[in-house]
């Protein structure tokens, strides 16, 4: 068996949060603009999907022509999002069962996420992610705030779980995350939580649910290679 570990992104793969970030964007825009066309929010949400907080706030600033600087917007959006995380998060359907399958195959696991320390802490408090990953939950602060699409988060997580990147499978839901995983040299499964398969075209395989991931076949195929 070639593959020895699975490294997950967090938002949109382990936890259902796309609606949270869309809502946080909407609230922030209302605070700054009062009223705005729905098309503006939709455009911003599409462009910020999978981006780190700094990049997403830069996009918001540019698209909405805001006068505030990016660091201020980061703090404001993070405060909004963290409050939404406290009550609005849930595990993605099928994740818990999929993780049990991973355990039966003796594969190591970890999280590599662009999320901030506060978001990770709040999410863990709400959903007890450590029951699945123990201490192997790594956010952007662990790699000096070098966000995806750079491979640093995946390389760091692989090092922490003591598995070479080429022996890791990554599960991602955004173009920037996919690029990070592939740049790290990992086999990448695209989880189509945003219902846009074209955005995941660089993945090795694309699925719409955890039920569609045939780990046994992936592991057998890798062994043959």
Of 197, 194, 186, 193, the C-alpha closest to 110 is: 186
Give the pLDDT confidence of 122-136 residue by residue, as tens digits: 999 999 999 999 999
Q: Identify the helix (H) or strand (E) that includes residue 203.
A: none
Report whether pLDDT(22) > 80.
yes
Residue 222 in this model has a pLDDT that exceeds 70: no
> What pLDDT sits at residue 223?
54
Q: Report domain 5-15+90-224's class.
A: alpha beta
Distances (CA, A) of 199 to 26, 50, 54, 118: 23, 11, 21, 28
> What pLDDT digit, counting tens, does each position of 138-195 carry?
999 999 999 999 999 999 999 999 999 999 999 999 999 999 999 999 999 999 988 8
Longest CA span, the chain: 59
Average pLDDT estimate for 44-60: 88
Q: In the structure, what pLDDT confidence band is assigned to residue 6 with cuts at 50, 70 and 90? A: very high
Global pTM? 0.86
Question: What distances in angstroms separate CA 45 from CA 9, 35, 39, 174, 225, one per listed residue?
Answer: 18, 17, 10, 12, 40
Cβ atoms of residues 149 and 180 within 8 Å: yes
- DSSP letter for 6, please: E
pLDDT value of residue 17: 86
Handedness of CA 95, 178, 195, 79 (dihedral sign): positive
CB–CB of 161/136 below 8 Å?
yes
**160 upstream amide cis, omega within 30 of 0:** no
Q: Which residues are 74's β-sheet partners?
A: none
* Position 1 confidence tier, pLDDT thresholds 50, 70, 90: low
Which residue is listed with tokens 């802490």? 121
Sequence spans of domains, the chain:
5-15+90-224, 18-88
Which residues, 6 or more positions from 34, have their beta carbon under 8 angstroms from its beta carbon? none
**pLDDT at residue 225 tops 50:** no
Q: What is the model's pLDDT at position 165?
A: 97
Please check whether residue 99 is in contact with residue 126, taking contact to mean a CB–CB distance below 8 angstroms: no
């Amino acid at each position: 068996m070639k593959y020895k570990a699975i490294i997950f992104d967090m938002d949109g793969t382990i936890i259902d949060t796309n609606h949270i970030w869309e809502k946080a964007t909407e609230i922030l825009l209302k605070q700054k603009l009062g009223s705005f066309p729905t098309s503006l929010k939709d455009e911003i949400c599409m462009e910020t999907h999978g981006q780190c907080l700094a990049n997403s706030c830069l996009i918001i600033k540019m698209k909405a022509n805001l006068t505030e600087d990016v660091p201020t917007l980061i703090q404001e959006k993070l405060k909004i999002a963290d409050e939404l995380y406290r009550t609005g998060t849930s595990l993605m359907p099928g994740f818990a069962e999929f993780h049990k399958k991973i355990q039966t195959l003796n594969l190591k696991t970890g999280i590599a996420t662009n999320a901030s320390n506060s978001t990770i802490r709040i999410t863990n408090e709400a959903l007890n992610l450590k029951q699945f990953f123990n201490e192997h939950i790594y956010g952007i602060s662990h790699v000096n705030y070098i966000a995806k699409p750079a491979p640093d988060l995946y390389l760091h997580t692989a090092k922490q779980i003591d598995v070479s990147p080429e022996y890791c499978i990554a599960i991602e839901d955004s173009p920037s995350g996919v690029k990070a995983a592939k740049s790290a040299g990992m086999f990448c499964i695209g989880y189509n939580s945003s219902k846009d398969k074209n955005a995941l075209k660089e993945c090795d395989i694309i699925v719409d649910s955890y039920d569609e991931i045939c780990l046994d076949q992936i592991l057998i195929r890798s062994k043959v290679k």
